[in-house]
Structure 1
Amino acid sequence: MIQHLYVHIPFCHRICPYCSFYKHQHGSTDMAGFVEAVLAEAQREQAARADRLDLRSVYLGGGTPTALSEKHMERLLSGLREIFDLSQVTEYTSEVNPRTITASKAAMMLSQGLTRISLGIQAWDEATLKTLGRDHAPADAEETYRLLRNAGFSSVSLDLMFSIPGQSLDAWRGTLERTIALQPDHISAYNLNYEEDTEFFQRLRKGQYREDEGRDAEFFYLALDLLEAAGYQHYEISNYARPGFRSAHNESYWLGEEYLGLGPSAYSTIGVQRWQNIPDTAAYMQLIQTGQPTAQPGEELTEDRRRTERFGLELRTVRGLPASLIQPDQQRMLTTLESEGLLTLRDGHIILTRHGKPLVDSIAVALMG
């Protein structure tokens, strides 16, 4: 059954130099027309898959969903409620950037059934925010957080980043301490990755920026220590939550569950098929208007592909990777990594230790053989 829905809204007021997701400034885009295109795709998918839809989570991502005006956001949310049965949805999330939401818009979103907000803070110091190309100040971020709390959202997550060029360990400590003081329900702490097709990647290639695994580990351990001491459960390499506030939608990805994606560039995984909508907003809208498919040629998820993905995703979680997935010729590697204190076996699962967590990607490769 398809229990998870993702809606991609690609608009941003400013393009961040580190972000590789499909996004753009709205420019001359007909925003009302865009919303109607997404709803038309939703109607088409609902009609085609009604017998397999049993939605339990919905996630609006981007881009910046709240770059939509209150009027257009309300039309999108009300339209989704009319098209899909959302009565069993227990987690309904929207990403929010500071300075893109008002008290009125927040109240409307709550009234339309949203239960959870993921607020993109990234950092609390001006210098790091400037490096990241963010268009908000720390005061804007705190004001937005309090606005969301005052609106009545009982589940708010803050997104942070570390190992940013020029960011000191003290600055990262300050970001963590200020975040903890606000007492969000969930915290995502991402190690900066240099993704192709970004300005940061180009600067890395030119030698202006550099990667440093030792520095990454220092930042990672500081987050781990401070957040766990503050009562947050480290349930995935980059994610921490107070008891009862894990992200059900994101956990569905890590566990390989089916999901339906709407909007330009959105991915869907249903059965053994995965595909992506065309990453071009104007072309996407034109295809919808003319009744043509929006999906690009997809891929079949073979057993080998699923196994590879399970190593890359489940090993990141607190539950761990089923030990039964280890091939006989990799048992010696498993024993070696355990003896080195990088992982442990518990209840039939491979669980990374404190020392193993920063090395999750290399450990996954080693165990796959």
Structure 2
Amino acid sequence: MLSIDRSQVLAYRIAAHGLHREIADPERLAVFELGVQDVTKRDTARLALAARLPGPPPSLVDDDQFTLAWSHRGAPHYHRSAGFLGLIPGLVPFDDTDAEARMGWQRKEIAEAGMPAGEVLTTAAKALRAVVGKPMTKGAASEAVTKRIPAGLSRWCRPCQATHIHEQLMRLATPLAGIALEPGVSPATLFPLRSRPRIPATMDVAEAKLTVERYLRLHGPATAADAAGFVGTTRAKVLEALWPKEKVAEVDVDGKRAFIPADAVSDVENPPEPSPVRLLPPWDPFLQGRDRDTLVPDKAMRKEIWKILGNPGAILAEGAVAGTWRAKAAGKSLEVSAIAFLPLSKKAKADVGIEAERVAEIRGYTGSRVSWT
């Protein structure tokens, strides 16, 4: 069994995520194998591309090559349009216990629903398909769907002061109904795909296994529990139904057992020098690894990067997540506040300034200024 250390793991992931900026075509970026999570108001998807492309990143809003949809864990991700329809059957839960885990439902919710969890998702998907025949805001779609579904699939929402379909249920059911999200639009707006496939009755296990394999390729070496965290299910369910055991190899990472696609073993053993300095946006694909203690061993530092609300961006430098950054307008310039967790060289700090200029340009500012804490 191959034995490697954390520095090799991070160097491998930096290369696997395309952070060396060796690919100019955004559609070819490996991160689209899983999707790039988007928070429109913070330009997260476009900034993630800026960290990977040698030239200016395109606007995904007007690019037919990509589709924005609620997918993994119900979070909004950009996916390659060419592969999105094939992804949908892989998002179907394997069975009722898998559906319960993905929706985050307990016995109380299941009892109120009066039907198995898998049927709950199918019922919601059918209602969404019937309602969303043209672009509709999330609020309008939710109101219309709530009138069509059994009362047990709705709940009282204190912030909205209204009863509507469970939030996570709606997010998980929407792609199954052949519905995507309008990019760059606020509030969130749903629209029907041009070629809507039938609502899948069962999981495409091969596609779901491919998602786990892709996770291991981008975020490996990793464990079944890590992959389950990304998918939104349990470790037991991944091992039971989704683990691509014939395609993975076991490695030792600092004394811990982990797995990686068998054809990537030599890459993780001898990864490229992890030299890039990048400003990663919140929810960047690199930060989506579920083994956060591998990405950032220090617990206090992890709390600064992954917050309940208002995540900062992360500074990637000298082969590690080395700090955080936030940006705000200062007239026509962008003011970047940077906090270093690790000692950084003068060159690394200078490169942060270069990256800040890229962020400023993307956001429409004439320049930037970096202040360090």
Structure 2 length as normaliser, TM-score?
Answer: 0.28
- Larger RCO of the pair (alpha carbons < 8 Å, separation 6+): 2
